[in-house]
Amino acid sequence: MQFLVLSRRRTDQFSNADFERLVPSEGAQARHLYSIGFTRQIWHRGDVPGACQVVEAKDEGEVHETLATLPLARAGMLDFEIVPLKPYAGFSLLLSPSVPRRLWREASWLGQPTVTYYG
């Protein structure tokens, strides 16, 4: 199962020097989590100090357990928001033969060229 993880550095409680001390080991552990397939994609956040990542785990408990291996998390320097993700079914429904052909012709709401099906 995939999860969206938003982390935020607790800059109100820790100094830049506190974070800088752990950044090298944090980066090494982040690379390790990517190499084992836990982290699928990762970005720096543009709104606050922290990261956004898509991770793969069997359940939310495993996500918490694995994130706890990050040095900044172990030090209590990060807050996490974890969002379970589900597959998006909209495209498969739109292209299904059981969908009324009228909807196929009116598919321009997707922001794509209109799909025409005369089957």
Q: Each residue of 20-66: pLDDT tens digit?
A: 999 999 999 999 999 999 999 999 999 999 999 999 999 999 999 99
3-state secondary structure string across 73-113: HHCCCEEEEEEECCCCCHHHHHCCCCCCHHHHHCHHHHCCC
Please report, rounded to a whole number, the percentage of residues in the chain having pLDDT higher than 70: 76
Give me the pLDDT at residue 87, please.
86
75 and 92 share one domain: no
pLDDT in tens, 88-105: 877 776 666 665 555 555
Q: Give the structural domain span for 102.
A: 87-119
Query: Average pLDDT in the 66-73 region?
Result: 98
Domains: count for the chain: 2
pTM given for the model: 0.76
Is 107 found in the same domain as 68? no
